[in-house]
Amino acid sequence: MEDLVWSMLLLGAIAVLGILLGGGGRREDLRARRRWDAAFDSESRRTSHTDATGVLRCRSCGASASERSGRCPSCGSVL
């Protein structure tokens, strides 16, 4: 009976230690997620002005592409 109690206490201590050690990574993941969300938000709100032809110039590499394509044919970034 005592062996069962000690094994339960040991398992409980290991579980608590795992929870405490695993909690640190979640905070960093949350910060990374917020940083990604902020970058995505700012990129999606960026406006590009077109001329009458509907051709856009890529902000990353400078290539020209159709406004309808939505992505640069050279580098693949969002126009």
Would you write out the chain's pLDDT as a tens digit for each of its 79 residues?
678 888 888 888 888 877 777 665 677 778 888 898 998 888 777 766 666 677 888 888 888 888 888 888 888 888 7
Domain ranges of the chain: 2-46, 49-79
Q: What is the pLDDT of residue 48?
A: 62
Q: What is the pLDDT of residue 23?
A: 60
| Beta strand extents in the chain (DSSP E only) | 55-57, 64-66
CA atoms within 13 A on the CB side of 74: 11
Residue whose token pair is 């902020």: 38
